[in-house]
Amino acid sequence: MINLPETIELLFLANNPIQPFRIDGYQQRINEIDKAFTNVSRIYLEIFRKPFFKKNIRTFGNVTVITVNQFLHPLTITNLLFRAKHIYIHSLLYLYRILPYFFLLPKNKQITLDLHGAIPEELDYYGEKFKSKLFLWLEYQTLRRCRNVVFVSRSFEEYYIKKYSFLREKKTFVLPNLTQSLTSFDSSKSHTELRNKFGISEDDVVFIYSGSTELWQNVELMMKKLQELVPLNPRYKAFLLTANLGEMKKIARKFELFPHPNVFILFAKPEELPSFYKFANYGFILREDHLLNKVSFPTKLFEYLYFGIIPIMKSTNVGDFPYWNCDFIYFDDLNASLTPAKSLKNTLIAKDLFKDFFNRIQELRQNVLDDSTVELKS
């Protein structure tokens, strides 16, 4: 039996930020939100189907992590849900794991839903029509019950208010996917070491890509352009940073870019990225002009801007990018005569975004921890 207080101050439905299984955009989001509640006793309820067949309870200071099986531990799940004063749900995908227990909760239960993305639209895009309709129903029902709704971009919020007009009566927050640790990281020493290691001079023009090899990232399109440009200018260097090293090298071979003296395919830990960003000039963000990209907020876009990197864009309809007036270059305008530029303007825009993020996340914290019970309209 789990020995817990009668009332749980804050329950997160998410993978825990203390010992995460993997570090990706989803997990980074969880980690950043958690930083606003570091002095609050909180529980992370991790729900899996396999291979977790036995309940696991771990404590890290004022954080308790409870890992359960979705089908084997329904009493534990419902017990935690009912005891929680406030439930913070990271994504509809996680909410799906507590069905049907969620609908047993009283309608005045204080709930925050952090949407992360437009799940029904994403499923529809990938051809999963039935799942899309299921999550559309689940999304509607959940948003009706929520006290707070969190979006990753202003464009995302605007789209959802048009989709569900009742959201105008909810408390909504726009919290982009920012990495706070980047703002305090001193990369000066490692930055110089990397320059020396890879022979990067001040005159070199450095392109960078940080991300996966999934189709929507348009990695092959990037490779094709690098294959065209790198031979034309010996000062052009490219750093392709990914966790999918095998797949990235496979694609690069297809375009005769691996092995190549001016193209470096590497894995970099999140804390190592600033050292590469420090000497990079241009960063690839090759998203299509599609709804899923319009409502998104790529973490690497903020990272590029913060370090004065000039984004290379296929479409500028990515998240709130159209509102920012950043320096950028269109993909089709890439040529062999670029200079090793940095954008102070982009850095200042990113710093303003961070200040706004910090203020808004404090407002969210205060709202989540507010003891008052809000009467929700159904």
CA distances from 10 to 7, 34, 96, 137, 367 (A): 9, 11, 19, 26, 12
Residues 16 and 147 in one domain: yes
Look at residue 375 and tell me whether its pLDDT is greater than 60. no
pLDDT (tens digit per residue) in 226-245? 999 999 999 999 999 999 99
Residues 150 and 223 in one domain: no
Report the b/e string of 284-294 with b at 16+ CB within 10 A: bbbbeeebbbb
Strand partners, 151: 174
262-271, 291-300, 307-316: range with highest mean pLDDT: 307-316
Look at residue 36 and tell me whether its pLDDT is greater than 70. yes
Confidence of residue 374 (pLDDT cuts 50, 70, 90): very low
In this prediction, residue 185 carries a pLDDT of 63
In this prediction, residue 319 carries a pLDDT of 94
Please report, to the nearest 10 degrees, the dihedral formed by the alpha carbons of residues 322, 285, 243, 23 taken in order.
0
In this prediction, residue 174 carries a pLDDT of 97
Across the range 155-177, mean pLDDT stands at 96
In this prediction, residue 187 carries a pLDDT of 58
Residues 65 and 151 in one domain: yes
Q: Which stretch of DSSP H or E encloses residue 231? A: none
In this prediction, residue 189 carries a pLDDT of 60
Residues 166 and 18 in one domain: yes
Confidence of residue 67 (pLDDT cuts 50, 70, 90): very high
In this prediction, residue 162 carries a pLDDT of 97
Residue 145 is part of which domain span?
11-176+357-368
CA distances from 183 to 28, 227, 307, 314 (A): 15, 34, 10, 27
DSSP letters for 28-53: HHHHHHHGGGTTS-EEEEEEESSS--
The count of structural domains within the chain is 2
Look at residue 19 and tell me whether its pLDDT is greater than 50. yes
Residues 81 and 202 in one domain: no
* Contacts of residue 279, Cβ cutoff 8 Å, sequence gap at least 6: 191, 194, 195, 200, 206
Task: For residue 112, give the nearest of 132, 83, 72, 84 by alpha carbon.
Answer: 84
Q: Tell me the Cα Rg of the chain.
A: 22
Look at residue 377 and tell me whether its pLDDT is greater than 50. no
In this prediction, residue 6 carries a pLDDT of 82
* Lowest-confidence segment of 20-29, 100-109, 162-171 by average pLDDT: 20-29
In a domain, 29, yes or no: yes
pTM, two decimals, is 0.91
Residues 47 and 115 in one domain: yes
In this prediction, residue 240 carries a pLDDT of 98
Residues 70 and 162 in one domain: yes
Look at residue 117 and tell me whether its pLDDT is greater than 80. yes
Residues 226 and 147 in one domain: no
Residue 69, SS3? Answer: strand
In this prediction, residue 5 carries a pLDDT of 77
Across the range 64-90, mean pLDDT stands at 95
Across the range 335-339, mean pLDDT stands at 97
In a domain, 351, yes or no: no
Look at residue 290 and tell me whether its pLDDT is greater than 80. yes
In a domain, 318, yes or no: yes
Residues 161 and 200 in one domain: no
Q: What does the alpha-carbon distance between residue 244 and residue 39 come to, in Å, rounded to a whole number? A: 36
Across the range 76-102, mean pLDDT stands at 94
* Lowest-confidence segment of 41-55, 146-160, 302-316 by average pLDDT: 41-55
Residue 257, SS3? Answer: coil
User: Is the backbone peptide bond immediately before 51 cis, with ω within 30 degrees of 0?
Assistant: yes
Q: What does the alpha-carbon distance between residue 21 and residue 46 come to, in Å, rounded to a whole number? A: 11
CATH number, domain of 134, equals: 3.40.50
Residues 28 and 107 in one domain: yes
Confidence of residue 111 (pLDDT cuts 50, 70, 90): very high
In a domain, 313, yes or no: yes
Confidence of residue 186 (pLDDT cuts 50, 70, 90): low
In a domain, 378, yes or no: no
> How is residue 372 annotated by DSSP?
P
In a domain, 171, yes or no: yes
In a domain, 69, yes or no: yes
Confidence of residue 251 (pLDDT cuts 50, 70, 90): very high
Confidence of residue 192 (pLDDT cuts 50, 70, 90): confident
In a domain, 352, yes or no: no
Q: Where in 14-159 does DSSP place strands (E)?
A: 42-48, 56-60, 63-69, 86-90, 110-114, 148-151
CATH number, domain of 333, equals: 3.40.50.2000
Neighbours of 319 (CB within 10 A): 24
In the chain, count H helices and then E strands: 14, 14
Q: What does the alpha-carbon distance between residue 207 and residue 227 come to, in Å, rounded to a whole number? A: 13
Residues 152 and 197 in one domain: no
Residues 136 and 81 in one domain: yes
Residue 242, phi then psi, degrees to nearest 5: -160, 155
Q: Are 82 and 8 in contact (CB under 8 A)?
A: no
Q: What does the alpha-carbon distance between residue 258 and residue 52 come to, in Å, rounded to a whole number? A: 40
Q: Which stretch of DSSP H or E encloses residue 181? A: none
